[in-house]
Amino acid sequence: MSDKKQTAVEWLMLNLHTSKDPFGTAKAMEKEQMFEYIKSMYVNGEESLKFHKEEFEQYYTETHES
């Protein structure tokens, strides 16, 4: 068995017809996965991570939310 995490797209494909809000859930999963990737790239202490989280939230809001 693989330790690979399920992507938001994979989850959506499996749960499109059974979830109450499949697109909202998939978008939230994608957002979390994007931040986890950024977190893995910037391991410079808690303050640095807080800064990057704030930058990420601003970027995500500007590019993915209307």
Condensed to tens digits (0 to 9), the pLDDT of residues 2-39 reads: 567 888 888 989 998 998 999 999 999 999 888 887 77
Structure tokens at 38: 């950024």
Domains of the chain: which residue ranges? 8-64
Predicted confidence (pLDDT) at residue 1 exceeds the cutoff of 50 = no
Structure tokens at 53: 């989280």
Q: Looking at residue 18, what is its pLDDT?
A: 92
Q: Looking at residue 60, what is its pLDDT?
A: 83
Query: What angle do the packed helices 46-64 and 22-41 form, to 10 degrees?
Result: 140
53, with CB counted inside 10 A (0-12, 13-18, 19+), is middle
Q: Is the pLDDT higher at 1 or at 46?
A: 46
Q: Which of 24, 18, 51 is nearest to 8 (CA)?
A: 24
Q: Looking at residue 45, what is its pLDDT?
A: 58
Q: ∠30-36-41 over CA atoms, to 5°?
A: 130
Q: Looking at residue 61, what is its pLDDT?
A: 86
